[in-house]
Amino acid sequence: MADQNPLHPRAFVIGDPISHSRSPLIHRHWLETAGIKGSYDPVHIRESDLKRFVAALKDGTSSYAGGNVTLPHKQAIADLVDNIDETAKQIGAVNTVWLEAGRLCATNTDSHGFSANLDELEPGWDRGKTAVVFGAGGASRAILHALKARGFTSIRIVNRTLARAQELSDRFGGGVSAHSIDELDDVSSGANLFVNTTSLGMGGTPVPDIDFSRLATGALVTDIVYVPLVTPIMAMAASQGLATVDGLGMLLHQAAPGFEKWFGRTPAVTKSLRDLVI
Ligand code: ATR
């Protein structure tokens, strides 16, 4: 655990805006269930204030053990920390920082959150090694990292803007290819996993029809959107007889490594936490 007041450990989530963040709900629930008299504070930090905030964190004047980092600071903070791990480097974004022996360390836990959610709800999800990843934004990068780490050998990125998919296939290398949306059906052929990383279907907005019939037998469809819990893409997949996993657990599991770093305890992703956050 980081150097700070052991009687009242403190962590933060910084962003602009910050009021929408669900992270306080998650970490305060874990603090309460673990009986830790700590705090987890949403802190509104503008881009122009980031340097000052990080300086106060490093010199201990703010007495935080660390915290979460959200938009628009996920890239900018990478240049301000003392140590950034390979995961955050490959994803190109930081979402968790902590102090360790006076040094500010950084990682990205979204990749862990994605895999841990599927490990919990659909063990063996990574047995087949072929995936379709729909979307090429920030969330897509974390999922590509997770799939590469689990040994996926064929990952087909499909995106409305082909150039963004190409950028990611260059970044993630061997076995990762880039495709436009009109290739979606073709590249789905024989895939074991379909991941929606786009915002399509968020809030229940209608999505264009997707034909999942070309996926491999027993393929799994998952979504990073979790509002609604059963997204239009998941409903479409279920109506075509496929297994589905919702994205809420990714949000909950990505929070766990930070809690461990700041508060020194391993938290559990329970049904009551799911009910609280949704
Ligand atoms: P995030 O960091 O959450 O991934 P993002 O970087 O804005 O957010 O990426 C959003 C993704 O959703 C992109 O892949 C985007 O496609 P483009 O790269 O072409 O913009 C995709 N997306 C958003 N709205 C879409 C829509 N209506 N149809 C298809 N793809 C869409």
Q: Which atom of ligand 1 is nearest to the CA of 161?
A: 19
Whether the pLDDT of residue 68 is over 50: the answer is yes
Whole-prediction pTM: 0.96
136 lines ligand 1 (CB under 6 A): yes
Take atom 26 of ligand 1 and give the residue whose Cα is closest.
200
Laid out side by side, the sheet with 103-107 consists of 39-44, 10-15, 66-69, 96-100, 103-107, 83-84
Which amino acid makes up residue 43? V
Does the residue 4 lie in any domain? no
Residues 155 and 261 in one domain: no
**Could you read off the pLDDT of 169-223 as tens digits, one per residue?**
999 998 999 999 999 999 999 999 999 999 999 999 989 899 999 999 999 999 9
C-alpha dihedral sign at 95, 99, 103, 109: negative
For the stretch 22-63, pLDDT in tens is 999 999 999 999 999 999 999 999 999 999 999 999 999 999
Instruction: Tell me how far apart the alpha carbons of residues 124 and 22 are, in angstroms, rounded to a whole number.
Output: 29
Same domain, 47 and 130: no
70 and 140 fall within a common domain: no
Quick one: pLDDT at residue 4? 60
pLDDT class for 1, splitting at 50, 70, 90?
very low
The CATH number that applies at residue 163 is: 3.40.50.720
How far is it, in rounded angstroms, from Cα 181 to Cα 132? 12
- Residue 148 among the catalytic residues: no
Residue 7: the pLDDT is 72
- Cα 213 to Cα 173: distance, rounded to the nearest angstrom: 28
Task: Report helix, strand or coil for 274.
Answer: helix
Task: Please state the domain count of the chain.
Answer: 2
User: SS3 breakdown of the chain: % helix, strand, coil, rounded to 5?
Assistant: 40, 20, 40
Tell how far the Cα of 197 is from the centroid of ligand 1, in angstroms. 8
* Structural domain contains residue 66: yes
ipTM: 0.97
What is the CA angle 130-163-171, rounded to 5? Answer: 55
Strands 176-180 and 154-159: parallel
Asked whether residue 28 falls in the same domain as residue 76, the answer is yes
For residue 49, give its domain range: 10-108+251-277
Q: At 3, is the pLDDT very low, low, confident or very high (cuts 50, 70, 90)?
A: very low
Q: Tell which one of 160, 162, 166 to mutate to probe ligand 1, the residue whose CB is within 8 A of the most ligand atoms.
A: 160
Question: Is 1 a member of any domain?
Answer: no
Report whether 94 contacts 106 (CB < 8 A): yes
**How high is the mean pLDDT of the chain?**
96
- 93-135 per-position pLDDT tens digit: 999 999 999 999 999 999 999 999 999 999 999 999 999 999 9
User: Which one from 74, 129, 261, 271 is the annotated catalytic residue?
Assistant: 74
